[in-house]
Structure 1
Amino acid sequence: MRLLMLTRYGPLGASSRLRSLQYVPALRAAGIETDVSSLLGDDYVRDLYTGRIAPAAVAAAYLRRWRRLRDAGRYDLVWIEKEAWPWLPGWLERALLDRGTRLVFDYDDALFHRYDTHRSRWVRAVLGSKIDGLMRRADLVTAGNDYLAAHARAAGCRHVARLPTVVDLTRYPLPSPRAPDGRTVVVGWIGSPSTAGYLRAVAEPLASLQAAGRIRCVAIGARPDQVEGTPFDAVPWHESTEADQLRQCDIGIMPLPDGPWERGKCGYKLIQYMACGLPVVASPVGINVELVADGERGWLADTDTQWSEAISRLVADPSLRRRMGQAGRALVEHHYSLQVQAGRLIELLRGAARAESVA
């Protein structure tokens, strides 16, 4: 079986690294000949996070993608992360893909809302139904949560499978128990400059706890200017050290507003925290509710008072932190790990290539 994997980014792009690229070794080991082609490389991602975009480089990337799409018919299956060409009409993609080409589209966020809720009526008119059209054309849609899967089914895709975003347990070994030693409890967040703005929502309750000497707050992956005036210290993110950085924390947090875009998120931060044996506190939005299971693996918090109370309870009770952290780790080991999901993905792809129904 020959698979063409068309990712949006290279390894530095979290969605591509986690949803596609980390599966490549397992696919090849299973005998699936996998060719990978990224639309935008790591240089683009670096420029994106610093606000510098080179239009000429993007145009060249789109041209390279056009050439790869012309060759799609040579493969048994083509896997496309989200869409082949962002911000271009879907009919261009569909026109280049031969009707005999078997397609898998993968979604880990509510990309359709980028178009169908755009403030420009021209964008809504031209691109508002683009993703729905691609989903209908797909032989299989893999979706990171139920919200995305339901949208794919409503769009007319016959074969939809929920495929969570997962961690590789070899990078997240079983954490050692942390004995209480009287030190300040570290509250951690991990993300990127594109999501650091969500921290503002919890800055006030966490600042009060930090001022009282009860916690220290770190934001892994945020720029220093983004957390200025908040209780968070910005910590540089590196793929090779992210798990070690998280293991230095005691509590993991994921604040989110309740909006259409946020409901499409797949909770990867929470999965990372749980893989490190951390209890979590998260906004009750989308998949967060399912992952946290309020009171089992952490707490759900909406208001400032709820955030303050949830963090305070965990700070005051090391045994509760340990118990919730162990429950989270067990969830990751049994469901949200590469080791569990790789074999399932292989069968999904083989079924799509054979035009079999998948689930």
Structure 2
Amino acid sequence: MTKKVLFITPYPQDTAGSQRFRFEQYIPFLEAKGVQVDRQSFIDDKTWAVLYLPGHGLQKILGIVKGFVRRKWMLLKASRYDFIFIHREAAPLGPPVFEWVLARVLEKKVIYDFDDAIWKENTTDTNGLIAKLKWASKVATICRWSHRVSAGNEFLSSYARQYSDRVVVNPTTLDTGRRHVPAPQKSTDRPVIGWTGTHSTLKYLELIAPVINSLRQEIAFDFVVIADQKPVSEIEDFIFLPWNDQTEIQDLNRIDIGVMPLEVDEWAKGKCGFKALQFMSLEKAVLVTPVGVNAEIVTHGISGYHCETLADWEMYLRDLLLNESIRRDMGVQGRKTVVEQFSVASNTANFLSLFDV
């Protein structure tokens, strides 16, 4: 009998990085095994288009209401599925009512997936009101109810194991065979430092702004920011490239040195190192704050550098800016790490095991 899986996601298909790189790229492998896959997002395409724009309050409210209505209709059809895969949560607000119905009432096999420390509040200027309406404690409850828990790294898995003995470390991965492919190495007298992320992580850029501005006084280089929103930053004369799925790899390949500064806190410990992995997959030397999985992904002095202080950031950035051969050697080692440990090819069997296929 054909297995059927329903993916319950926060956002529409091919829009959010966490969805694309945690499970959407594996769906063709499930279908190749004869599994029938359906999807339902909470936010529809029209709401997604304005979700992070200022204003549009009525449209956003209506979009959330429609999301709850879709989830209610989903419950009426849930009995036809062998597995229900829930990424992060079934609904962004309130207690885990939908998860309770699916797991406890309908007794469906729920696979619960998360890639951040979402049991912690992470309030920003743009999500303050919504953060207050979230139900952070539901993460532990959903872990208890789930058939399996898919966690993005060991820190997240350790949390989940407090509530379930069916936890699988399922890292965020990249398609190093077709998408994340490095461009031919270029030789340049003006190297490029780069950062990529979303509006919610732009605050981390400011952690290294003094270092970037200071180095500019002695070395000629460019600083590129790839994001969904132009930052208001203390970094002088940066080049902003609006994130675009069609040009993302081309834009990332303009960079010679990738940076991933973070604050050292519980939220950062839950991150899956995606920015670092992207740079490494494209043979870029990386510098990271060695918090959480970053300390494991990047081998200090081999594929990049760990930077714990501003003095570290300045010393190691200067080293890479002035030594093209070191940058290239580190890039080669970084890609090797990604291909062997954080690629779709290396993780496909692990992902499919969630569904017993």
By the TM > 0.5 criterion, same fold? yes
In structure 2, the partner of 1:101 is 108
CA RMSD of aligned residues (A): 2.3
Structure 2 gaps of 5+ residues are none
Summarize deviations over 1:206-237 as a string: whole Å, max 9, x none. Answer: 11112334321111015334336545322111
In structure 2, the partner of 1:14 is 17
Report if the CA contact (8 A) 2:174-2:278 is conserved. Answer: yes
Name the amino acid aligned to 1:312.
R
Report if the CA contact (8 A) 1:115-1:123 is conserved. Answer: no
Report if the CA contact (8 A) 1:136-1:157 is conserved. Answer: yes
Once the two structures are superposed, the pairs formed by residues 126-137 of structure 1 within 5 Å of their partners are: 127-137=135-145
TM-score, with normalisation over the residues of structure 2? 0.90
In structure 2, the partner of 1:39 is 42
1:162 aligns with 2:169: yes
Summarize deviations over 1:230-288 as a string: whole Å, max 9, x none. Answer: 45322111112111111111000101001111111100101100111001001111111
In structure 1, the partner of 2:28 is 25
Report if the CA contact (8 A) 2:143-2:149 is conserved. Answer: yes
In structure 2, the partner of 1:149 is 157
2:258 to 249, 252, 259: 252
After TM superposition, the structure 1 stretch with the greater mean CA deviation from structure 2, 142-151 or 216-225, is 216-225
Name the amino acid aligned to 1:311.
L
Structure 2 vs 1, CA of residues 348 and 58 (structure 1 numbering), >3 Å: closer, same or farther? same
1:177 aligns with 2:180: no
In structure 1, the partner of 2:233 is 227
Query: How far apart, CA to CA, are the structure 1 residues paired with 2:235 and 2:223?
Result: 13
After TM superposition, the structure 1 stretch with the greater mean CA deviation from structure 2, 61-70 or 237-246, is 61-70
Report if the CA contact (8 A) 2:147-2:166 is conserved. Answer: yes
| DSSP-derived class of the 1:149 partner | helix
In structure 1, the partner of 2:271 is 265
1:341 aligns with 2:347: yes
Structure 1 gaps of 5+ residues are 352-359
| DSSP-derived class of the 1:112 partner | coil
**Displacement of 1:119:** 9.7
Once the two structures are superposed, the pairs formed by residues 267-346 of structure 1 within 5 Å of their partners are: 267-346=273-352
TM-score, with normalisation over the residues of structure 1? 0.90
In structure 2, the partner of 1:354 is none
1:83 to 49, 68, 89: 89
Q: Percent identity?
A: 31
Summarize deviations over 1:153-194 as a string: whole Å, max 9, x none. Answer: 01x11210111101112012244233x332x11001111112
Report if the CA contact (8 A) 2:109-2:147 is conserved. Answer: yes
Report if the CA contact (8 A) 2:71-2:98 is conserved. Answer: no
